[in-house]
Amino acid sequence: MPEPADAHFLEAAASLAPSGAPAAPGPLSGARCLELFDAQLGSRHLDLAARWLQARGSGFYTIGSSGHEGNAAVAAALRPGDPALLHYRSGAFFLERARQVPGQTPLWDVLLGVVAAAEEPIASGRHKVFGSRPLNVIPQTSTIASHLPRALGLAFAVERAARLGLGTPWPRDAVVVCSFGDASANHSTAAGAVNAAVNCAFQGLPLPLLLVCEDNGLGISVRTAPGWIHAAYGSRPGLAYFHADGCDLADAFAVSAEAAAYVREHRRPAFLHLRTVRLMGHAGSDVESSYRTPAELAADLDRDPLLATARLLVDLGAATPAGIIDLYEAKRAEVMALAEKAADAPRLSSAAEVMAPLRTAGPSQSERPPAGEPVTVAQAINRTLAALLDERPGLVVFGEDVARKGGVYGVTRGLMKRAGAARVFDTILDEQSVLGLALGFGLAGMLPVPEIQYLAYLHNAADQLRGEAATLPFFSSGRYRNPMVVRIAGYAYQKGFGGHFHNDNAVAALRDVPGLVIASPARPDDAAGMLRACADAAERDGRVCAVLEPIALYHVRDLHEDGDGGWLAPAGGTVPLGRARTYGDGRDLTIATFANGVRMSLRAARRLAARGVACRVLDLRWLAPLPVADLLREARATGAVLVADETRRTGGVSEGVLAALADAGFEGRAARVASEDSFIPLGGAAAHVLLSEQAIEDAAEALVRSAR
């Protein structure tokens, strides 16, 4: 059955006639209009081909761009060197951008994505995305506004890099363009990113960001209230607003050029509201007639942007109705020939091929002991950050309260004075924007070290790590990367402060992000060495790293008795990624633990030794990748393992440790003791649900006793 949009265009184009009125002079010549029409035609026929491929079982993606082809005008208004983060209905933009760069094969590239072919040049068959390194199109997946913080960060980073005298992959006067739909404009992520953009403008901070809202009035079946986008974004102080009819190529071309020129000249954010229609439904499986009336569907067909461009070409005398149909059918033939060829393209054939971008490995690294005066965990982190700032001109440190105050716990004290306010600076209180800045700095070739003030605060922004940071190398086959080292103050055991939001042990949201490196240091020397290892992995391999810093151990000095200085150690040295650390050589039991659990386990082990139970304590140090080889070695040395886990029984670290032992065929005894499946309450009540030294002792004795 033919697509109504296809049949309607052919019928309406055949009956076109010149309006008789002289064409108004404007920036869009007949020749330029034909170029943009070619991009629009290519985009439409890619949509038709995607549905044909799906019908024959060869294609896997049918969310199309039909009705949004006016975004070719946005591409025409920008330069190929302007980084673009695109909505998934940006086919015409992608084709017009590719026309500006010699040697590109965009129709073929998009079709390879539709069939998930291994030779597709950006995601290599992992997803259908609009992305290209030569075109400076940064791939996005399901863009429900989650890419707006990254776009904000990239625009900020382009300007900040120039201020610091650093180069980026883009020209000094680049404009960052980010497109999204009207439904996505309602998402809290979009609201937060736009708020951060206007906050920058309010402070006079340069931000060359062009936000393009392609408004078709629908979010799948949910209608956007008429006039809402203009009401919400049309009069925001600090955000220039431009409106164009995306179904009228001449209007879209003129207004897009005006908006792009404004951002490029003034280095301030702008909002381009492009009114469009949606043809052929949300995707191939979407039956629009179940929620839209025949009159509405017919009205959208009459507003088809391809038909409007055809009418414009006839009025300009650049084409006849018959010539329009010839162009349309010639593009159909071109695209369908490529689709038939793409249908048989090889697919990814193994887990190793699929996961290749997640397995970036740098050179082997050996552990180097630190030297110098003993310091606390907080001091070790501070000194390491200071050294990294001195060594690496592209490293920036930022977050809430990190600059003038020096952090809530003084961890970043003195760094702004040392490196300057352009490299160590405070952000607004919005974790999505903090991580979006990091995404942008990483894309710009710098090394961001953002701070999330408390682990509990990460959860409302975790998708910036999961859905954006970790996926970029995966869906670009490593062609794009956003290295970063996110410092997160976390875990529990703070005394006299905070309750849940300042004592949080929920790490599951991080542990299941593929490719994310998670460092969890306990001692000062490890905190310094692991932070440096993360910086190396980020800079060298593009890794996304999270460093979970135990707040309760920041300023601890002693281990067993007051004044013993047993928790002080020199900063410096290096710690290899994915390597554990062993304390003692007891033969009865291995206690595997991390973070606060290390100090608790060492204290418990001393008391157990007095009762004849000889333990060794294994500090896992890395929660991802888990140090499985070290774990197995120490487990087999004693034949018994107790996992002391300060996180929760459900979703905590101990589940992964015990699974690793089982997967490796460990035949000894294994048990665990963990905190309860509870939020952490205020005050002394926390002791009822958190792992304790006494619980570790009792479980250790029980496990050893069971073998005697």
| Residue type present at position 11 | E
Residue 374 CA to residue 632 CA, distance in Å, equals 31
**Best CA proximity match to 264, nearest among 158, 180, 168:** 158
Please state, in angstroms and rounded to a whole number, the distance separating the CA atoms of residues 62 and 82.
27
Residue written as tokens 């009228």?
Answer: 248
Hey, what amino acid is at 25?
A: P
- Nearest C-alpha neighbor of 491 from the set 381, 642, 595, 592: 595
* Known catalytic residue at 502: yes
Q: H or E segment at 673?
A: strand 669-675
20 burial (CB, 10 Å; 0-12 / 13-18 / 19+) is exposed
Task: Identify the H or E element spanning 242.
Answer: strand 240-245
Question: Quick check: 182 and 222 in contact, CB under 8 A?
Answer: no
Task: Check: CB of residue 335 under 8 Å from CB of residue 40.
Answer: no
Residue 459: other Cβ atoms inside 10 A: 15
| Residue 519: strand pairing partners | 547, 622
**79 phi and psi, to 5 degrees?**
-115, 155
Which are the contacts of 291, defined by CB distance < 8 A and separation ≥ 6?
Answer: 221
**Cα gap 406→424, rounded to integer Å:** 10
The answer to whether 601 touches 696, Cβ cutoff 8 Å, is: yes
Q: Are 656 and 643 in contact (CB under 8 A)?
A: no
Helix (H) or strand (E) holding 181: strand 176-181
The overall longest dimension of the chain from CA atoms, in Å, is 103
In terms of Cβ atoms closer than 10 Å to its own Cβ (0-12, 13-18, 19+), residue 679 is middle
C-alpha dihedral (526, 527, 532, 533), degrees to nearest 10: 50
DSSP letter string, 289-305: GGTS-HHHHHHHHHT-H
Backbone angles phi, psi at 603, to 5 degrees: -65, -40
CB 416 within 8 A of CB 459: no
For residue 66, give the 3-state DSSP assignment.
Answer: coil
Residue 632 Cα to chain centre, angstroms: 34
Tokens of 317: 């005398």
Distance (Å, rounded) from C-alpha 325 to C-alpha 334?
A: 14
Which is catalytic among the residues 459, 502, 555, 560?
A: 502
Residues in CB range of 493: below 8 A, 6 or more apart: 503, 550, 551, 552, 596, 646, 686, 690
Peptide bond into 625 cis (omega under 30): yes
Name residue 361's amino acid.
Answer: A
User: Side by side, which strands form the sheet with 137-138?
Assistant: 137-138, 84-85, 176-181, 209-215, 270-275, 240-245
Report residue 48 as tokens.
Answer: 């038709």
With vertex at residue 166, the alpha carbon angle to CA 164 and CA 169, rounded to the nearest 5 degrees, is: 140
> Cα 232 to chain center, whole Å?
26
Q: Which residues are marked as active site?
A: 502
